[in-house]
Amino acid sequence: MAGQSRKWMILMATIWIQAFTGTNFDFSAYSSELKKVLDISQMELNYLATASDLGKAFGWSSGLALIYLPIWMVMFIAAFMGLFGYGVQWLLIRRIITLPYFPVFLLCLLAGCSITWFNTFCFVLCTQNFPTNRPLAISLTVSFNGVSAALYNLAAKAIDPTSYSLYLLLNAFIPLFTSFAALIPILRQPPASSNPISTETLRHDRIIFIILFIFAVITGIYLVAIPPNPAKLFFAGAICLLVLPLGVPGMVYARSWFTQNVTPRVIKRTSFMLDDDDDDLGLRKKLINGGHDDDDDGDGNGCWEMVIMSDRLAFLEEEHDMKRLLFRIDFWLYYFAYFCGGTIGLVYSNNLGQIAQSLGLASTTSTLITLYSSFSFFGRLLSAVPDFLKAKLYVARTGWLAIALVPTPLAFLMLSLTDAKIALQIGTCLIGLSSGFIFSSAVSITSELFGPKSVGVNHNILITNIPIGSLFYGLVSAFVYDGNALLKTASVCMGRDCYFGTFVLWGCVSVLGLVLSVLLFLRTRHAYARLERNQISLVS
């Protein structure tokens, strides 16, 4: 039981770290002030946003560091990179120091790299401590990364609602303080066990995960529904909601001990385990195969056979090294589906400040950031739905990815048709929901398609699309923005046309991402079906 409690402390530590290290999501809160201090164009500001995302291109360095350094040291290196990257930017925006443009670019790059190091560190902890519930652990912890902007927004309002530079100061110090708070659980990490996990432990884990997800939903609703004042009181409430789940594992294990040792055991096996009868198993097999055996896919011919059947994955969780990964059609479908979906959502969040300003809604920027952050959080939580529903309704995780991409083109269609305030808010919510699901589910999909042991390297290869997309999509938006500003002979573009062309292009690209994700699902569903049938046969 001591080992079990320690792994849950590790999970809580990763939740805290993820909740306070999504510092790139509040870029819009201070981007306009940074633009003013540096006296730069929208194009140059876009390069700074890209620099933060470019840090993900160096994610491989965190995997390399984990091979040679203790895991706690990797955490503190990430924290100090963020401290320096954001701290110097705070000095700059407060006009305490002056710097040319290129060093500021490098500071944004360093700050973005610290986020990637934190993420890789959390993925590794979840993989080591929850081998049988890896997707649930990753979905839960990554979900809290989505509420970072809402938490920082609340913290800034609680301290000084008039200061935009305060966000940079919080970005610099809060991850470091959180790392110190998480140090003891990480140092007491339980050793890896080669013994099989009992069904009783699996049942307890499922119950605890369900309760933790309920707490997470309550936290997200709290952050969305909170009134603007008094900010200090509601920020304290948010911290309490992050701390309260610490007691959940202890309560579950204490209840189990009480029922086993104090009163006769009356609780039978719950429905969380796969105890379906033969009829249910038969039904599930039909659902998995869509009413036919997966080998029937080979009956197609011509272009369809070439697109769907060529070099598709035969088995899931087969390890892929870098060379093998880069020659996989499935990887490139996955890469560009992510590039045309989740990455656009991130770029949209980076431009929220300028979008709101161009529509005359600059005062709503913090509200839009909170909406994007909170709905990104809900999207990340929803990425755990496939694992909770698979006993009743099994759909390949790549199918859920395709479903998650649907809201993005709908949102850009809405933003293209009207500049109403409510449309901007609804569109922001839809894009946050979609991108949040993609960010969270991507780690599990990478693990399933290309191997769990190689996920640290392979996932960092996948997310190289983020800096590339950030540069490309950001350049497009900056060209449109600066072009319209030039026509109006103003440094700040005002009006619906400032982003109209950008929304149309982003919407078309997101439709392409949806098509690619559907192709990925069609190519991989037979491999998911084979894995699920094997799991059913083992249980039965």
DSSP symbol at 274 = -
Q: Is 301 helix (H, G, I), strand (E, B) or coil?
A: coil
Contact 512/344 with Cβ under 8 angstroms? no
Least confident of 123-137, 191-205, 354-368: 191-205
Mean pLDDT within 433-458: 84
State the maximum Cα–Cα separation within the chain, in Å, rounded to a whole number: 81
Mean pLDDT computed over every residue of the chain: 79
Both tokens assigned to 26: 């509040």
Query: What is the per-residue pLDDT for 337?
Result: 93
Q: Is 76 helix (H, G, I), strand (E, B) or coil?
A: helix
Between CA 235 and CA 49 the distance in angstroms is 27
Placement of tokens 């809290």 in the chain:
144
If you write DSSP's letter for every residue of 358-388 in order, what string do you get? HTT-GGGHHHHHHHHHHHHHHHHHHTTHHHH
φ and ψ of 519, to 5 deg:
-60, -40
Query: What is the per-residue pLDDT for 539?
Result: 47
Radius of gyration of the chain (CA): 23
Q: What beta strand segments (E) does 151-246 contain?
A: none
Q: What beta strand segments (E) does 264-403 contain?
A: none
Instruction: Give the chain's end-to-end CA distance (angstroms, integer).
Output: 28
Least confident of 150-154, 167-171, 294-298, 498-502: 294-298
Query: What is the per-residue pLDDT for 257?
Result: 52
If you write DSSP's letter for every residue of 396-432 in order, what string do you get? -HHHHHHHHHTHHHHHHHHHHH---HHHHHHHHHHHH
Between CA 297 and CA 92 the distance in angstroms is 60
Rama region for 311: left / alpha / beta (φ>0; ψ in -120 to 50; rest): left
Residue 208, H or E segment: helix 199-225
pLDDT of residue 304 exceeding 80:
no
pLDDT of residue 393 exceeding 60:
yes
Mean pLDDT within 105-134: 85
Confidence grade of residue 49 (pLDDT, cut at 50, 70, 90): confident
Q: Where are the alpha helices (DSSP H) in 21-100?
A: 27-38, 42-54, 60-68, 71-93
Between CA 52 and CA 257 the distance in angstroms is 49
Between CA 99 and CA 280 the distance in angstroms is 66
Between CA 142 and CA 442 the distance in angstroms is 10
> pTM value?
0.72
What is the identity of the amino acid at 360? G
Angle at 174 between CA 249 and CA 94, to 5 degrees: 165
Q: Among positive and negative, which fits the CA dihedral 252, 255, 259, 265?
A: negative
Between CA 224 and CA 196 the distance in angstroms is 41
Query: What is the per-residue pLDDT for 294?
Result: 46
Q: Among positive and negative, which fits the CA dihedral 540, 135, 151, 356?
A: negative
Q: Kindly report, residue by residue over 513-528, the tens digit of the pLDDT.
A: 999 999 999 888 888 8
Between CA 227 and CA 158 the distance in angstroms is 12
Percent of the chain scoring above 90 in pLDDT: 17
